[in-house]
Amino acid sequence: MFKGLSERIGHSLDRVKGRGRLTEDNIKDTLREVRMALLEADVALPVVKEFIEQVRERAVGQEVLKSLTPGQALVKVVHEELIRVMGSEREALNLRGRPPVVILLAGLQGAGKTTTTAKLARYLQETEKKKVALVSTDVRRPAAIEQLETLAGEVGSSFYRAAEGTAPKQIADQAMEYARRQHADVLIVDTAGRLHVDEDLMQEVRDIHAAVEPLETLFVVDAMTGQDAVRSAEAFGQALPLTGVVLTKADGDARGGAALSVRHVTGKPIKFMGMGEKSDALEAFHPDRVASRILD
Ligand code: GDP
């Protein structure tokens, strides 16, 4: 992510070595460098603008501690601002409700919903010691339902399979009943995606949402999709009361922009990162750690 950002900052500030204070003047070029790095990483423009403004405000006038070079001092400000933009604190899943507590996953096709459903199931079972049931409401793609059933078998969750021809909302209702009968603690509902946002899809997810009243409504988004991630985040954020985001494929050669933009656009915390295709490749999202990774 943002390969070499701290190096770029360091280099362009080498010239001001020896001066005791960061000024508007001596950080100008460096801020341009940071701005470029963020744009190259596909961070949405409004986010970049606000980011640079915040860094400027905090940096100008700052005394450079004796132990730091001006470059290091500015890197520190950038690091703190990265953390702030990504949400400061790690935000855990909210599971405080009468079981079965529902987690609803929404997002575009290919974003990684089905994979994430299985990963979350495994995480909840292993780490939180929860009993988990899974269901897919993707009636247009029978293969997607089968894929989840297979994954459920692999991670050892129970799976609700509806009769063929059942409508998505009814599947969700029935799955709730099933999860109750199973004494499941958590029901994870995987929903249909489309290649593009459309009104039909949004209405379908809203209906399912109303049927199962999830405690967590997570928007699943592919970190590699840059500006498209921002657009779909906006659309899903308007259609659904999201409670958080799962950023998938963060293991790929992601330029990292989505991590910064999506939080800004949705106003919701990134709760997890997908770090691979396997069911154990899910990491809690720690803004401070990701900020350090970005600056590495
Ligand atoms: P869905 O259409 O939203 O349900 O997407 P899928 O769960 O079927 O995932 C689409 C593709 O992305 C599959 O090939 C997954 O293996 C892959 N995938 C999902 N999450 C990750 C991830 O975190 N890292 C990587 N590298 N691949 C992922």
pLDDT tens for each residue of 2-25? 556 777 776 766 665 555 788 888
How confident is the model over 263-275, as pLDDT tens digits?
888 999 999 999 9
Q: Does residue 276's CB lie within 6 angstroms of at least one atom of ligand 1?
A: yes
110 is in an annotated binding site: yes
Q: Is 232 in the pocket of ligand 1 (CB under 6 A)?
A: no
Q: Are strands 216-222 and 282-284 parallel, antiparallel or unpaired?
A: unpaired
**How far away, in angstroms, is 115 Cα from ligand 1 center?**
6
Ligand 1 atom at minimal distance to the Cα of residue 109: 2
Helix residue spans in the chain (DSSP H): 5-14, 24-40, 45-59, 70-86, 113-126, 142-155, 168-181, 199-212, 226-239, 257-266, 287-295
Going edge to edge, which strands form the sheet with 101-106?
Answer: 158-160, 132-136, 186-190, 101-106, 216-222, 244-248, 270-274, 282-284
Does the beta carbon of 282 lie inside 6 Å of ligand 1? no
pLDDT digits (tens, 9 = 90+) for 147-184: 999 999 999 999 999 999 999 999 999 999 999 999 99
Q: What is the pLDDT of residue 2?
A: 54
Q: How far is the CA of 160 from the centre of ligand 1 (A)?
A: 21
Cis peptide before 241 (omega within 30 of 0): no
Asked if pLDDT for residue 191 goes beyond 80, the answer is yes
Residue 146 Cβ contacting ligand 1 at under 6 Å: no
Task: Kindly provide the ipTM of the predicted complex, given to two decimals.
Answer: 0.99
Residue range 134-158: average pLDDT? 96
Asked if pLDDT for residue 68 goes beyond 90, the answer is: no
Which of the two residues, 154 and 231, has the higher pLDDT score? 154
- Is residue 179 within 8 Å of residue 134, measured between CB atoms? no
Q: What is the pLDDT of residue 211?
A: 95
Q: Nearest 5°: phi and psi at 242?
A: -65, 150
Tell whether residue 107 is among the known ligand binding residues: yes
Q: Is pLDDT larger for residue 166 or for residue 33?
A: 166
- CA-117 nearest atom, ligand 1: 7
Site to probe by mutation for ligand 1, drawn from 191, 225, 272, 277 as the one with most ligand atoms within 8 Å of Cβ, is 277
Look at residues 160, 164, 217, 220 and name the one whose alpha carbon lies nearest to residue 193: 220
Burial class (CB in 10 A: 0-12, 13-18, 19+), 90: middle
**Residue 226 in this model has a pLDDT that exceeds 70:** yes
pLDDT category at 212 given cuts 50, 70, 90 is very high
268 lines ligand 1 (CB under 6 A): no
Q: Which ligand 1 atom is nearest residue 119's CA?
A: 20
The fraction of the chain above a pLDDT of 90, given in percent, is 59
pLDDT of residue 62: 81
Q: Which ligand 1 atom minimizes the distance to the CA of 108?
A: 3
Q: Is 290 exposed, middle or buried (0-12, 13-18, 19+ CB in 10 A)?
A: buried
Ligand 1 centroid from CA 112, angstroms: 4
